[in-house]
Structure 1
Amino acid sequence: MTASDLEHLIIARLVRERGGTSQTWQRALGKVIVRDTQTHAHCNWDVRLSGTDGQRAAIERLLDDVRLEHSIVTAG
């Protein structure tokens, strides 16, 4: 899975589970940052959240599950 695929997956799940628009969640999520698997062997990606406290909390809860399902991604 690529970083952009992961980003789309997260946004789609947020819209489905929490409502709102994909644009709103995109702004709150930010871009997926891919890190080197040599230094981040268990999960090589992260995001820089923005948005409201409620949006950040919803994203963090979802990211816990997504990291278990898709811990390693490729750039792109």
Structure 2
Amino acid sequence: MIEFGASEENTAGLASTLTPLVDESGNAVMDATFNKQVYKNSAITFFVPGSVEKKPVHYQTVLTWIIAELP
């Protein structure tokens, strides 16, 4: 198992890294598949090296995890 960050319910006593995600109006952002609120996790970050040109725009991506048993 791989874990990134901690929730308030963690048994290790770690500080929570989860923050509820809200839209521009302050309303909770909901996951349509699971009908639960979406959270931001400050334990996961994205870094762009200094030599790469950065533009002041919103960046977004989708990560796809593939779990497999390999030889």
| TM bucket, shorter chain | under 0.3
More strand by share: 2
**Rg comparison, structure with higher value:** 2
TM-score, length of structure 2 as denominator length: 0.23
More helix by share: 1
TM-score, length of structure 1 as denominator length: 0.23
